[in-house]
């Protein structure tokens, strides 16, 4: 049990794993009515309390924690301004009891999102049961042992279930700001023309592969390039450079993905066209752009503050629908599917 999880479990008396008993405990913990807007099912233990309180600043919620690392079936209830937290714990063999209790405790008529604090086993019974409860599934491929395989598998699940549930990968959400800044660099007609003369794309990362791969996939899919399976690339490692080649129809583009330090975050995106170099990079807590022409003249240099990880999650909880741009970015990476991706 993690420290914050222990604070919830230690400070509240256990309640039998029975939906009516839990509801009664919730009313005792917080008898005033609130405008709860969201059911959030959390699978995991670490960071739950902080996460719930942060989500509550935007979405008053009922959080239901599904914890199958418990000693025995029990429930703990706590509440605060704009949030209720129901912690359902049990042994793995008690999955059915825990999940059925969670199902009964979902507030009717409200959207239900589910978030795994660690990447789930997408083929597990638990994953399947939670997907059946939820309208929105949020996961993070950066926490998967095989992130690229996870991404492909997730996309397959999303396609199968798209009529009833939507999926979100936080690795894709985290690069939204990078995509926006990169896209803006090419708004002007002269810059847009440079897209056809791109020679290299270089992405530096802090040791996590999904973000640079998805960013590359996004570029490839948006610009209609075709990624070739690199003949010399035996596996994808977060610790070693990766070199890919994309064909634009007129020329080849080299895509370099390189580790640069630690921290797991993207460090920089460099786009070299014939006459101009475009750069998006993380600097001092901001993400900044720079455009430099071949004669060394800087044309733009503006920054936006980086978003905190929990804010990225909060922003994903109530979106609905399938993100076609994400799906196409993943599809663009298909030639890499046969490679082993070591985390």
Partner 1 sequence: MSVGLALDNPLREGLQAELAAEPCIIVIFGATGDLTHRKLLPALYNLAVDQRLPIGTAVVGFARRPKSDDEFRADMLQAIQTFTAEPYQSSFAEHFGQGIRYVQSTFDDPAGYERLREVCQEIDRERGTRGNRIFDLATAPSDFPVVLERLGAAGLVDRDGRAENGWTRLIVEKPFGHDLTSARELNDRVGQVFGEDQVYRIDHYLGKETVQNILAFRFANSIFESVWNREHVDNVQISVTETLGVENRGPYYEETGALRDMVANHMLQVLALVAMEPPIELEARAIRDEKVKVLRAIHPLTTAEVSRRTVRGQYGAGAIGGIEAPAYRDEPRVSPDSNTETYVALKVLVDNWRWAGVPFYLRHGKRLPKRSTEVAIQFKKAPELLFRQADAGGLDANLLVLRLQPDEGIALRFGAKVPGPGMHISSVRMDFGFGSAFGRQAADAYERLLLDAIQGDPTLFTRRDETEAQWAFITSILEAWQHLPPPDFPNYPAGTYGPRAANDLLAREGRSWARL
Reported as half-sphere exposure (CB side, CA atoms, 13 A), residue 2 has a value of 11
| Whether 177 contacts 307, CB under 8 Å | yes
Q: Does 324 bind partner 1 (CB under 8 A)?
A: yes
- Is 232 a binding residue for partner 1 by CB under 8 A? The answer is no
Q: Which of 127, 59, 68 is nearest to 92 (CA)?
A: 68
**35 part of the interface to partner 1, by CB under 8 A:** yes
DSSP string, 139-184: E-GGGSSSHHHHHHHHHHHHHHHTTT-EEEEHHHHHTHHHHHHHHH
Q: Is 228 in the site for partner 1 (CB under 8 A)?
A: no
Q: Which residues contact 41 (CB under 8 A, 6 or more apart)?
A: 63, 64, 65, 66, 102, 106, 112, 113, 114, 115, 130, 133, 134
By CB under 8 A, the count of residues binding partner 1 is 44
Contact between 179 and partner 1 (CB under 8 A)?
A: yes
Q: Binding segment for partner 1 among 7-15, 115-123, 132-140, 294-302 (CB under 8 A)?
A: 294-302
Please pick, from the candidates 224, 234, 249, 296, the single residue that binds partner 1 as defined by CB under 8 A. 224
Q: Which of 151, 165, 185, 257 binds partner 1 (CB under 8 A)?
A: 185
Backbone phi and psi for residue 57, each to the nearest 5 degrees, phi listed first: -65, -25
Closer CB to partner 1, 49 or 276, in the complex: 276
Candidates 62-70, 94-102, 234-242, 318-326: pick the segment binding partner 1 (CB under 8 A): 318-326
Kindly state the smallest distance separating residue 246's Cβ from partner 1, in Å.
14
According to DSSP, the residues that pair with 270 across neighbouring strands are 202, 279
Distance of closest approach, residue 291 Cβ to partner 1, in angstroms: 8
39 binds partner 1, rule: CB under 8 A: no
Give Cα 255 to chain centroid, integer Å.
23
Q: Name the minimum Å distance from CB 183 to partner 1.
A: 4
Structure tokens at 182: 């990169």
Span interacting with partner 1, options 128-136, 138-146, 218-226, 330-338, rule CB under 8 A: 218-226
Q: Which is nearer to partner 1, 177 or 207 (CB)?
A: 177
The reply on whether position 188 binds partner 1 by CB under 8 A is: yes
Of the pair 74, 266, the CB lying nearest partner 1 is at 266
User: 159, 164, 183, 337: which one contacts partner 1 (CB under 8 A)?
Assistant: 183
Interatomic CA distance for residues 253 and 197, integer angstroms:
9
Q: Which of residues 81-120 bind partner 1 (CB under 8 A)?
A: 82
Q: Judge contact between 65 and 86, C-beta under 8 A.
A: yes
Instruction: Say if residues 105 and 227 touch (Cβ distance below 8 Å).
Output: no
Binding site for partner 1 (CB under 8 A): 34-35, 37, 56-60, 82, 176-177, 179-188, 192, 195, 219, 222-224, 284-286, 288-289, 291, 298-305, 323-325
């Amino acid at each position: 049990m993690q420290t914050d999880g222990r604070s919830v479990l230690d400070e509240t008396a256990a309640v039998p794993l029975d939906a009516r008993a839990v509801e009664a405990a919730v009313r005792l913990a917080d008898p005033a009515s609130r405008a709860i807007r969201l059911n959030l099912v959390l699978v995991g233990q670490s960071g739950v309390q902080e996460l719930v309180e942060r989500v509550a600043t935007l979405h008053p919620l009922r959080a239901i924690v599904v914890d199958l690392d418990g000693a025995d079936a029990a429930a703990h209830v706590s509440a605060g301004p704009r949030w209720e937290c129901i912690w359902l714990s049990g042994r793995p063999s008690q999955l059915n009891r825990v999940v059925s209790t969670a199902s009964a405790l979902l507030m009717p008529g409200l959207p239900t999102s589910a978030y795994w604090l660690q990447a789930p086993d997408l083929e597990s019974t638990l994953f399947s049961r939670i997907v059946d409860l939820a309208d929105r599934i949020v996961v993070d491929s950066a926490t998967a042992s095989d992130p690229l395989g996870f991404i492909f598998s997730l996309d397959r699940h999303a396609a199968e279930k798209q009529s009833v549930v939507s999926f979100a990968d936080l690795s894709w959400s985290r690069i939204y700001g990078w995509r926006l800044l990169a896209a803006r660099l090419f708004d002007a007609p002269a810059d847009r023309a440079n897209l056809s003369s791109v020679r290299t794309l270089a992405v530096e990362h802090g040791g996590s592969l999904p973000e640079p791969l998805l960013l590359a996939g996004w570029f490839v899919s948006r610009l209609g390039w075709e990624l070739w399976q690199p003949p010399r690339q035996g596996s994808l490692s977060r610790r070693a450079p990766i070199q890919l080649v994309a064909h634009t129809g007129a020329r080849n583009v080299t895509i370099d993905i390189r580790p640069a330090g630690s921290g797991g975050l993207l460090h920089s995106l460099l786009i070299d066209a014939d006459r101009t170099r475009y750069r998006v990079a993380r600097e001092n807590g901001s993400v900044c752009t720079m455009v430099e022409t071949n004669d060394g003249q800087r044309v733009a240099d503006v920054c936006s503050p980086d978003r905190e990880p929990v804010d990225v999650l909060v922003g994903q909880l109530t979106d609905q629908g399938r993100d076609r741009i994400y799906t196409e970015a993943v599809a663009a990476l298909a030639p890499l599917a046969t490679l082993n991706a070591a985390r």
